[in-house]
Amino acid sequence: MSVLSVQRTRRACSRLLGLALLLAGNRALADSCARPTDPGGDHDYSYGAAEVKSFGTSTVRVWYVTDGVHAVNDESSRSDAVPDDVVLVAQVTSDALASYLDLGYRAPISDSSNPECGDNGGDGRLDVYLVRMQGADGMTAIDLGRCTELGGATRCASFIFAQANFAGQYATASEGIRTVLPHELFHVLQNAYDADLDRFWAEGTAQWAAKRVDPSLTDLERYLPAFFAQTSRALDAPANGVTAAFLYGSAIWPVFLSQRHGAQIVRSILEREAEAGGSSLASADAVLADEQTSLAREFALFSAWNAATGSRAGTGGYEDAAKYPLVPLTELGSAPIHDISSGLASFFYRAQVSAPMRVTLETDSKRNTGTLVPFENGVARVDRAMPLPAELTAEGIVVVSGITSNKTDAPFTLSLTSLNDDSSAAALEQSGCALVRKPSRAGPDAVTSLLLLLISISRRRRRVGQIRGDSAAATLSQSSSSLAIAASSTLKSTGFVRWSAKPASLLARTSSSVP
């Protein structure tokens, strides 16, 4: 039987995974369907000899003690003397669960399965244990022995540990409860899809989801500076305790996805992971393909949005861009900049010129891409962002983004060059997705001559058809078709327009329709 343990914390944020055996107080996981209410406790949390009490709703049951090391604040305004904080934990968790289910997310895996495994809190409701947390304020634990392998994913029943007394950690106990419980609850729902999600996605979406439940919360914004300060770090890079805040700050990624494609995209990605397993980024790429886009394209735009926040926020980008922190910028001057990316990371450069110049990027196009976000009146115009090479007329931010999860080195060189530089001019004409190129000097004359010739032949065909009958007209129609094909070749050589291939019969019909 496959056994998997996952521990997610809010501030320490340590996650332990095991597929066969993991020591937890020198106990084998297969024997560890334990809870803090058991004599030996669980995850080093035990109520010991204290009297254990519970309070619940139809979907959630909260466990607590009023004395000992894990005692809650026992202040109560109720006739049954249940502490107000305990009631609020039950209410907030139940309300958040109802909200998530209304959004279409899967219900938690019931812990009523496999009763031989051990304690399940007495029934199938989601259990929340209030304890004195060690270095964290919340944690979601997998109920060991109640996991199943399905498709490429591992789905598990879970329960929650939360701080017994939030006094001193948040402005009020209410703020702590409303911040922590919806976050941990979303981890419980994630485990109904796959208990082995990438950590940045698990923490980022939990932050995003809690914000959706209660938009007045500021926990999402609290951790964004840690992400915006480390944009050269790959989005899915393995994290340790030092970079735990980066994981919570990565909530800006689902914020971007949901504002671009609708809130349902987060659920769609989780569904894809539940079906296929694998990485969260691979699932995101598959879902984005259904949206007629790709992970590479969206991450480049995501990086451009991140350039337009705080005092730089202008047109386009995040709805609350002005509330978000600034990414640090490196100055791009006359000397080229050489750097190395790795994975889905972003680099930001400030460029300001007194005369129009061209911004160019030399790199492996399968690994990196560049975007120019121009400024107007001192703020960013994300709506006018353009791929490199691009022309900079005044001020802007140049963004270099990795577009693959490949974490080997991907060097790049970023330069400002003169518009008179022929090599950079050629690169500019070949870049991006523009459908029209600048004509060569001879282009318009050649095009005009050919069009006049086609018109003349077409008119002659109609006159001949009237005099000599259909056979002569058909002969001239074939001539028109040949000239039309020749015309298309000439037009291609002038660089006037980018053609797609067309059958000769279509070209013949096009030429014969000229008046």
| Domain ranges, residue 377 | 324-430
Residue 317 corresponds to which tokens in the numbers above? 């980008």
How far apart CA 331 and CA 302 sit, in angstroms, is 21
- DSSP class of residue 469 equals -
Domains: count for the chain: 3
Dihedral in degrees, nearest 10, Cα atoms 223, 188, 345, 382: -70
Residues 251 and 340 in one domain: no
pLDDT higher than threshold 70 for residue 440: no
Least confident of 37-46, 91-100, 473-482: 473-482
Across 229-343, where does the E strand assignment appear?
330-331, 337-341
Q: Give, as one character, the DSSP assignment of residue 118.
A: B
| Residue where one domain finishes, among candidates 404, 430, 456 | 430
Section 120-133 average pLDDT: 93
* Residue 121 and residue 255 in one domain: yes
Give Cβ neighbours of residue 217 (< 8 Å, ≥ 6 apart).
175, 178, 179, 210, 211
Residue 401 lies in a domain: yes
Convert 243-261 to b/e letters by CB count within 10 Å (16 or more is b).
bbbbbbbbbbbbbbbbeeb
Of 476, 478, 480, the residue nearest 463 (C-alpha):
476
Which H or E run includes 509? helix 504-512
**Which of the four pLDDT bands, split at 50, 70 and 90, describes residue 328?**
very high
User: Do residues 75 and 15 share a domain?
Assistant: yes
Boundary of a domain, candidates 272, 293, 314: 293
Determine the pLDDT at residue 242: 54
- C-alpha closest to that of 405 among 238, 220, 180: 238
Higher pLDDT, 498 or 151: 151
Tell whether the model's pLDDT for residue 239 goes beyond 60.
yes
- Above 80 in pLDDT, residue 249? yes
The answer to whether residues 395 and 495 belong to one domain is: no
Residue 309 lies in a domain: no
Percent share of the chain, pLDDT over 70:
75
- Asked whether the beta carbons of 509 and 487 are under 8 A apart, the reply is no
Q: Is 126 helix (H, G, I), strand (E, B) or coil?
A: strand
| Residue 457 or 340, more confident | 340
Please tell me which residue, 242 or 485, carries the higher pLDDT value: 242
Beta-carbon contacts of residue 380 (< 8 Å; ≥ 6 apart): 307, 308, 312, 313, 314, 315, 316, 317, 373, 374, 396, 397
Asked if 111 and 237 sit in the same domain, the reply is: yes
| 299 part of a folded domain | no
Average confidence score pLDDT of the chain? 81
255-313 pLDDT per residue, tens = 999 999 999 999 999 999 999 888 999 999 999 999 999 999 999 999 999 999 999 99
Q: What are phi and psi of 211, to 5 degrees?
A: -65, -35
CA distances from 49 to 41, 65, 70, 332 (A): 11, 10, 11, 65
* Residues above pLDDT 90, as percent of the chain: 66
Question: In terms of domains, do 345 and 237 share one?
Answer: no
Residue 356 and residue 265 in one domain: no
Tokens 């480390």, located at residue: 230
Per mean pLDDT, which range of 101-110, 119-128, 197-206 is the poorest?
119-128
Mean pLDDT of 109-113: 87
Residue 344 lies in a domain: yes
pLDDT at 330: 98
In this structure, the answer to whether residues 269 and 334 fall within a common structural domain is: no
Indicate whether 186 belongs to any domain: yes
> Which two tokens mark 171?
């402005």
Question: Lowest-confidence range among 171-180, 292-301, 400-409, 443-452?
Answer: 443-452
Can you give the C-alpha Rg of the chain in angstroms? 31
For range 154-166, the mean pLDDT: 95
Asked if residue 200 lies in contact with residue 345, where contact means CB atoms within 8 angstroms, the answer is no
Q: Residue 464 pLDDT > 50, yes or no?
A: no
The answer to whether position 311 is within a domain reads no
What is the four-CA torsion angle of 97, 98, 100, 103, rounded to 10 degrees? 170
Over the stretch 492-503, which tens digit does the pLDDT of each residue have? Answer: 333 322 222 223
Verify that 154 and 226 share a domain, yes or no. Answer: yes
Closest by alpha carbon to 142, among 163, 164, 111?
111
> Environment class of residue 53 by beta-carbon count within 10 Å: exposed (0-12), middle (13-18) or buried (19+)?
middle
d(CA 504, CA 515): 20
With bands split at pLDDT 50, 70 and 90, how would you rate the model's confidence at 426?
low
Give yes or no: residues 371 and 471 share one domain.
no
pLDDT at 122 over 90: no
Question: Is residue 27 a part of any domain in this protein?
Answer: yes
Bridge partner residues of 63 (DSSP)? 54, 129
Q: pLDDT band at 241, cuts 50/70/90?
A: low
Report which residue type is found at 308: A
Q: Which of 375, 381, 337, 359 is nearest to 232 (CA)?
A: 337
For residue 50, pLDDT over 60 is answered with yes
Number of separate helices (H) and strands (E) present in the chain:
13, 16
The SS3 of residue 412 is: strand
3-class state of residue 331 by DSSP:
strand
User: Is this model's pTM higher than 0.85 or not?
Assistant: no
- Band of the pLDDT at 33, cuts 50, 70, 90? confident
- The reply to whether 389 and 461 lie within a common domain is no
Domain shared by 334 and 288, yes or no: no
142 assigned to some structural domain: yes
Collapsed DSSP state (helix, strand, coil) of residue 425 = helix
Q: Which residue would you say has higher pLDDT here, 481 or 36?
A: 36
User: For residues 23 and 21, what is the distance between their CA atoms, to the nearest angstrom?
Assistant: 7
CATH of the domain at 337: 2.60.120
CATH number for the domain harbouring residue 120: 1.10.390
